[in-house]
Structure 1
Amino acid sequence: MTTSRREQLVVQAVPGTHGTTVTARGHELTIDEAPRYGGHDSGANPVEHLLAGIAAASLVVLRLLGEVAIAESAALTVSASLNVDRVMGADDGPVVELIRLDWEVANAAHAERLRAALPHLASRRPGQALIDAASTSTEEVSVRESTAACG
């Protein structure tokens, strides 16, 4: 019987004068809200950090799946519709109503390979539970338009 590797991940959050300072392995992040939610807008908000984590984790897992060339040239935009009233305790609907993952790749061959890899990526992606908890989620792949100048 083989034992799976485990890694303990730890972050520490402390309030600061302008947002929250989070430390992970000596790396500091400033997390803050927009002024309309009582913050100073001195950093991305907590949900934006979650989305950034999903985007980065997606690219890492894509590399682990052997699609290094795609991971190194793809652009991934992750967007979500947050039910702010649920966060504030005034609604009982899903916290995240819609989450979209929009991949843009260099060419049609990359698009085909990425589409084939998406189920494997989803089964291994850290943060997939947030995507699965959204009332609606989509993951789309498109080919980047050529930026070559027309002459």
Structure 2
Amino acid sequence: MTIDVDAPLNAITRATAQAVTEDPANALAVFRASGVAESAVATVVRARTHTVRVDEPAALGGADTAANPVEVYLAALIACQVVTYRFVAQQRGIVVEDLRIDAEGDLDVRGFFGLDESVRPGFQAVRLTVHVQGPESAERYAELQREVESRCPVLDLTTAPTPVQTTLVTG
């Protein structure tokens, strides 16, 4: 199978490669979001022109008006995987007719509630199940999966340390 060099995602990749070749500083992007607390534990987050609401179920002090933070993380991981599958598949000329990803994570709340300092507050494990359909061989889809796992930014945030600097502003 040949790669369709005129495919839309390939055009984005080519334009990005050209921009980075012309000036390596073009490879650096800064993404921003800003959140404001609302009600007991809900948050309204703004990113560019988009709004994301986050809340907790009643059992965790919320009104259950939206997904909770760890569910939003799972959603971000799924969405990033989908984007990465689409880009990589198009770059490699791999036909993906249908793509669905399920995610689940195991969280021991003792870490969050401070009940056991030996328990980390985040997920102890996350499992992704990728359902892909198309005319390619199972090995070709396995190759695609390996490349997606090496290139997915949100997966990288989980599997590799990311320095985080927090600044507290009071008053």
Q: TM-score range by the shorter chain?
A: 0.7 to 0.9
SS in 1 for 2:153: coil
Could you tell me which runs of 5 or more consecutive residues in structure 2 were left unpaired when the two chains were aligned: 1-19, 161-171
TM-score (norm 1): 0.76
Q: Which structure has the highest strand share of the two?
A: 1
Structure 1 position 85, deviation (Å): 1.0
> Given that residues 99 and 131 in structure 1 are in contact (C-alpha distance below 8 angstroms), is that contact kept between their aligned partners in structure 2?
no
Alignment of 1:1-151 (within 5 A): 3=24, 5-17=27-39, 19-67=42-90, 69-70=95-96, 73-91=98-116, 92-94=118-120, 95-107=122-134, 109=136, 111-129=138-156, 131-132=158-159
Runs of 4+ more than 3 Å apart: none
| Contact kept in structure 1, 2:45 and 2:51, CA below 8 Å | yes
CA distance in structure 2 between the partners assigned to 1:130 and 1:99 by the alignment: 13
Q: Report the Cα distance in structure 1 between the residues aligned to 2:88 and 2:113, rounded to whole angstroms.
A: 39
Letter in 1 for 2:58: P
- Cα distance in structure 1, aligned partners of 2:128 and 2:28: 28
Instruction: Give distance in 2, aligned partners of 1:69 and 1:48.
Output: 30
Greater radius of gyration (CA): 2
* Cα drift, residue 46 of structure 1: 0.4
Paired with 1:124 and 1:41, the residues of 2 have a C-alpha distance of 33
Structure number with the higher helix fraction is 2
Q: What is the identity, as a one-letter code, of the residue corresponding to 1:90?
A: L
The percent identity for this pair of structures is 29
**When the two structures are aligned, how many residues end up with a matched partner?**
132
CA distance in 2, matches of 1:75, 1:132: 22
Give the drift of 1:66.
2.7
Q: Which amino acid aligns with 2:89?
A: G
